[in-house]
Structures are given as C-alpha cells and as structure tokens.
C-alpha cells in the first residue's frame, strides 16, 4: 500500500473521521516516537457510499501532523459537519470540496504541493 498524498483522498479521510465513520490508527507509536505512518480505516458496514475506494489508506506521519491534524482542528468545519450529520454517508460534494480546499491550502503552505496547484 502506498502513501496517500492526493488532496481529495485526504479530504475523504478527514470527512469520514469528522463524521465518526473512520478511525486513524498509529501502528508504530510509542511514548518516545510517533508513528511514521497513519492508517485510516473506514468502519465496517460503510460500503455502498461511493467512498470505499479510498479505504483503507496510509498517510505519511509528517504529512498527517502538518496537514491533516490542523484541518481536523479547523473551526470553520464544525458548523458544516454538524449540519450534515443527518446525511452521514451520503455524498456531499460541497462539504467535501470545502475540506479538499483546506487540505490543498495546508499542503501548499507546508511545502507538500507547489503553489501552482491551488
């Protein structure tokens, strides 16, 4: 399995984590050393939503810390996720696009993508 670096795929992971439909796992973590890789696994029974092609995924640990954690903590997503909680599992291109824009901007800011991709 290769590391995921595509903004849309990372946005799908963020969306599912915020919805409570996927979990990040840190298989090589201990007190002294954070994991070099983060596995994101969709919860069982989530097939048929159109997003299952993205799971399971592996994210490089530094990218996770530099990009995904700040996006997960972004307060601008809270109202959007709350409004969409009744539609959990349904495709929501507006919310997914919003998250993808945040991921892409953070990737550019932290040097994972060149500025021309924004």
CB 42 within 8 A of CB 51: yes
Please tell me the pTM assigned to this model.
0.83
For 14-63, write each residue's pLDDT tens digit. Answer: 998 988 889 999 988 887 888 899 999 988 876 656 788 888 999 999 99
For 71-110, write each residue's pLDDT tens digit. Answer: 999 888 765 555 555 454 455 678 889 999 999 999 999 9
């Amino acid at each position: 399995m290769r590391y995921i670096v595509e903004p849309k795929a990372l946005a799908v992971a963020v969306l599912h984590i915020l919805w409570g439909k996927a979990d990040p796992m840190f298989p090589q973590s201990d007190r002294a050393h954070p994991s070099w890789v983060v596995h994101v696994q969709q919860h069982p029974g989530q097939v048929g939503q159109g997003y299952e092609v993205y799971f399971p995924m592996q994210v490089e640990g530094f990218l996770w810390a530099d990009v995904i954690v700040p996006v997960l903590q972004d307060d601008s997503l809270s109202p959007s996720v709350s409004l969409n909680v009744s539609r959990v599992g349904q495709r929501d291109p507006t919310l997914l696009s919003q998250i993808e824009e945040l991921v892409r901007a953070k990737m550019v800011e932290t040097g994972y993508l060149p500025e021309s991709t924004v």
